[in-house]
Amino acid sequence: MCDLKTGQKVITPSGRLATVKLILSGCSKKDGFERVICQYDGVENDQENLVTLQPHLLKKVS
């Protein structure tokens, strides 16, 4: 189970700061992995600056 929360700040594998927007669990019957949709910080409402990653790839910002 994912221990991230919506609105939480994280660091992506590329080293960029992002905010958790949505947490998805089991996107399909063949794919049981959880996914987290994040928006890179410093960008307002731009769909091109969203990224979907597995939770274990993200680091929480304290």
Domain that holds residue 28: 1-32
Domain count, the chain: 1
Helix, strand counts (H, E) of the chain: 0, 5
Can you give the pTM of this predicted structure? 0.82
45 part of a folded domain: no
Residue 7 located in a structural domain: yes
pLDDT (tens digit, 9 = 90+) per residue, 16-56? 999 999 998 866 667 678 899 999 998 776 677 899 999 99
The answer to whether residue 26 sits within a structural domain is yes
What's the average model confidence in pLDDT over 5-24? 95
Kindly state whether residue 22 falls inside one of the protein's structural domains. Answer: yes
Query: Looking at residue 27, what is its pLDDT?
Result: 62
* Residue 50 to residue 29: CA distance in whole angstroms: 24
Q: Is residue 49 part of a domain?
A: no
Contact 20, 36 (CB under 8 A): yes
In a domain? residue 8: yes
**Distance separating alpha carbons of residues 49 and 29, to the nearest angstrom:** 27
Residue 17 lies inside a defined structural domain of this protein: yes
Whether 3 maps to a domain, the answer reads yes
